[in-house]
Structures are given as structure tokens and as C-alpha cells.
Amino acid sequence: MSTAIDDDLWSAVGDPTRRRILDLLLADGGGTATTLSERLPVTRQAVAKHLGVLERIGLVHVTPEGRARRYDVDEAQFARAVAQLAAVSATWDARLQRIKRIAERIQRGMPT
């Protein structure tokens, strides 16, 4: 696997609320803690904390909008995350294919 895995990134997106926040930001083209909290089963303060985590790892960037802060997905960092997921997927696909071949050999009574 040529793409290095960023544990901080995957720890951050391992949280279901943060994944939902990313989904909403991608679908809506951005948002604030208030607009996001209106669509999530958590408080605005909780959303703001989750957004802070996503900002620290670079998945979102913030722009002041009056008294509010607007969050948008950082496309480059998001693309990096997608590339990492694709690399992990390819690695596991190859591993599972090897396991399948071994199991088929065992089933046919052939040495592994």
C-alpha cells in the first residue's frame, strides 16, 4: 500500500456524528454549528466541538461570517482521506482473495 494511513484522520472520522457532519457539509456546500445542529440529534455546542476536531485535522476549514463561523470541507484533505480508504480497501481485497484461494485449495484437498 503506497498511501500512508493517517491515524488522527481516521480517529476523527471514526465518530458517527463527525461523519454525519461531513455528509451534511458536503451535501449543503458548508454550514455553521447552528445550521448543522438543527439537523442533528446533538446540541450546537457538541457540533462546535466536533467541528473543532475536524478543523484540527484539516478536513474542514472555517471562515468567519459575521458572528458565526462557516465550515466547509477541505477538498484536498478529503481527497486524501478517500485515497487512503481506497488503498486500505485494495489491500484487504487482495488479502481476502489470497484467503479464498487457500480455502479453495483446502476444500479440493490440495496442499496450500
Strands (E), the chain: 60-65, 68-73
What's CA 58's distance to the chain center, in Å? Answer: 12
Q: Which of 78, 74, 22, 67 is nearest to 47 (CA)?
A: 22
Residue ranges making up the domain that contains 86: 7-107
CA distance 72 to 25: 6
CATH of residue 93's domain is 1.10.10.10
Question: What's the confidence (pLDDT) of residue 76?
Answer: 94
pTM: 0.78
88 SS3 class: helix
Question: Which residues lie across from 64 on neighbouring strands?
Answer: 69
Assess if residue 1 is contained within a domain. Answer: no
pLDDT tens digits for range 86-95: 998 899 999 9
43-90 per-position pLDDT tens digit: 999 999 999 999 999 999 999 999 999 999 999 999 988 898 899 889
Residue 72 lies in a domain: yes
